A and B are shown apart, each in its own frame.
Chain A
Amino acid sequence: MAQEQKGIDLTGQPFAKHLADNNSLPLQASETAFEKARGVNRVEIRTGFASARIGGLHGEVLKERLAILQPVFESGISFDFLKFSADGMSFVVPESLREKLEGVLHSSGAEFEVKGGRAVLIIHAVNMRDEAGLVAKIVSQVIDSGANIEHLGEMHDRLLMLMGKGGAEKAKAMILASNPEAEA
């Protein structure tokens, strides 16, 4: 069926074949895997962290917390995973700084608990925000595995959860079992 306007000719092979919607040519290996599979695609564990939980704070939210964080900062201790709770806050430091942190918190007079031997379970899932409910589902699965999530962070392609090393191993096994295509 030639078009009236010059330059358009959809007749003949292979053009018509290639433009057909029902083109059933099998995908070549080089064509596949443009996008990673939906959902979890990799699970890993990083170790070597300690977590601190500060409690008993009831005054002005940010001021009270900054008063405790200031000496931590001034001692050159880097912290991550800062989370504010109703009565305090929690954060994570490298295990190597645990003793130093305990000293600083002790001096500040804060009500605190520092736990060593923490691990970060990292669950990779491309573009998690577009997968409705995915973050909540992963969190729910990890809790069901028996792991105790102490902190939680996220970025565009991964969810990071701090927990004990044993819990991280159990959670990793459970996530991998329910996502057989995910890499360990």
Chain B
Amino acid sequence: MKFKVLKFGGTSVRTPEARHLAALKVLSVREQGFAPVVVVSAIGRKGEPYATDTLKAFLDDVDHAVEPDPREMDLVMACGEIVSASVFATLLRSLGCPSMSLRGGQAGVRTDGVYGNARILGVNPLGIVEAVERGFVPVVCGFQGVWIQGGLPGAELTTLGRGGSDTTAAALGAALRAEAVEIYTDVDGVKTADPDFVKEAPTLSRVTYDEVAEIAHLGAKVLHPRAAEIAMKFDIPLWVKNTFSEEIGTEIVPSRELPGRRVTGVTHSGKLVYLQVDLNNAEPSHVRDLQARIYDALARYEVNVYMTNLGPTSIGFAVERVFYADVQDMLDALVLPMPGDSRVVYLVQTSNEPSRALETQRKLLEPLGEVRELKFEVNEGCTMVSLVAYDFLQQPGVFYRVISLLDRAGIPVLQTNDSDYSLSCLIPESELRRAVAVLHEEFGLATLS
């Protein structure tokens, strides 16, 4: 039996028309002699009645002062995919194609017990295989699985966190040894840049798992890195395709199938706030302790940091703007005592004028020793533009070429970050559109395919 897994995201199942187009893709795969296995996300996006965020709000709104229990949150969030799968299976049946919906647990998706961000431990696909043998097209709820050893009656429902439906599709593809996993979305495949910024950005015919994972990591929402990781591990051919067109899409392949030096594309992240503290005010012997304490505080409050910089004279990092108020609350007036006999105590200041909390702390601390302020310079209007490449960035001059290009275009670069596959620059958000365009042009990406 030759399986193909087709995953349809929120926009692909959002309206009756979209669902009809998605269903036609399923029928087409079936007519080609494959056994289609469908995975669906919840219907629509934020604000729409059955979207995951809307369902989540039911619990969030019960009491804004109390965080909902993650187990209850998983149950309510999983409803979106259940509605979507049932609607899609019914649609397929209305088109003459026997079909049945399966919850994640019924499809054999087994996870660990981390509600809200569960990892797939394994997949027992016997239920899916038998459904197919009986002539049905299974429509599986993405984003969910079950935790067997929950200690509670029956299996515990868990959700897989961000990109969960992509991850479900890749895991089912691996378990079924599928011929391919096709991720359907509302773009023609992996583009060299966001088409909203660069209209002529072409669709790449092939990219490697690592490149697409890095593109996703840096902000593009084409495919979740967890799905790429599973497909790479099990060598499952993965495609990104458009529900709304007949374009062939992008094939995601192992590195061995796509050697050669190249620039893959330009991507960009969301809104960031960059915080940098000048440590020239600190004793050199205290720098390491200050670094450790600040990062320890960030870890304890589970803050995701970007563009991290550690040096003898400064510490810098960026955080997502939606979380900045929380980070500021956590850092402002933070007291950093030094170990040993030191009578110096550091106080963190995150705004131009000292806050009331900071003044209070200072008054309390002054009798105990010398109080020094560590003032964070905060740049709220930032974003990150990144060049993603394969076996290219190690060449002499690429880094210089990127930052000097942005400088010539009058775009300030506040910080940089590089890795084997990407080179990122922190820039003012107001310059993002131009930065994407000039990098796209400089590296000749409009002619790629």
Quick one: which of A1-29 are within 8 Å of B by CB?
A: 5, 7-9, 14-15, 18-25, 27-28
Tell me, yes or no, whether B184 is within 8 Å of chain A by CB: no
| Across-interface contacts of A152 in B (CB, < 8 A) | 308-310
A132 touches B303 (CB 8 A): yes
Given contacts A78-B397, A129-B304, A143-B292, contact A83 B415 (CB under 8 A): yes
Tell me, yes or no, whether B200 is within 8 Å of chain A by CB: no
| Across-interface contacts of B309 in A (CB, < 8 A) | 83-85, 152
B304 touches A135 (CB 8 A): yes
Tell me, yes or no, whether B122 is within 8 Å of chain A by CB: yes
| Across-interface contacts of A86 in B (CB, < 8 A) | 276, 278, 280, 313-314, 377
A160 touches B419 (CB 8 A): yes
A34 touches B418 (CB 8 A): no
Given contacts A126-B225, A126-B226, A133-B300, contact A38 B130 (CB under 8 A): no
Tell me, yes or no, whether B399 is within 8 Å of chain A by CB: yes
A61 to chain B, nearest CB (A): 7
Which of A18, A22, A61 is most buried by chain B, counting CB atoms within 10 A of its CB?
A: A18
Count residues of chain B with CB under 8 A from any CB of chain A: 98
B308 touches A82 (CB 8 A): no
| Across-interface contacts of A130 in B (CB, < 8 A) | 117, 161-163, 226
| Across-interface contacts of A81 in B (CB, < 8 A) | 418
B347 to chain A, nearest CB (A): 19
In whole angstroms, what is the CA distance A64 to B280 when docked? Answer: 20
Interface stretch of the complex, out of A65-73, A101-109, A176-184: A65-73
| Across-interface contacts of B401 in A (CB, < 8 A) | 73
B383 to chain A, nearest CB (A): 16
A87 touches B298 (CB 8 A): no
Tell me, yes or no, whether B396 is within 8 Å of chain A by CB: yes
Given contacts A23-B155, A136-B295, contact A153 B418 (CB under 8 A): yes
B175 touches A143 (CB 8 A): no
Quick one: which of B93-125 are within 8 Å of A by CB?
A: 93, 98, 100, 102-103, 105-106, 108, 110, 112, 114, 117, 119-124
For this complex, 14 residue pairs linking A to B, each with C-beta atoms less than 8 Å apart, are: A19-B102, A21-B155, A21-B157, A70-B400, A83-B311, A85-B314, A127-B229, A136-B298, A136-B303, A139-B295, A140-B292, A154-B306, A154-B417, A157-B229
- Which B positions have Cβ atoms within 8 angstroms of A? 93, 98, 100, 102-103, 105-106, 108, 110, 112, 114, 117, 119-124, 126-127, 130-131, 134-136, 146, 148, 153-155, 157, 161-163, 167, 171, 174-175, 213-214, 216-218, 224-226, 229-230, 233, 276, 278, 280, 288, 291-292, 295-296, 298-306, 308-314, 316, 377, 393-397, 399-401, 403-404, 406-407, 412-422
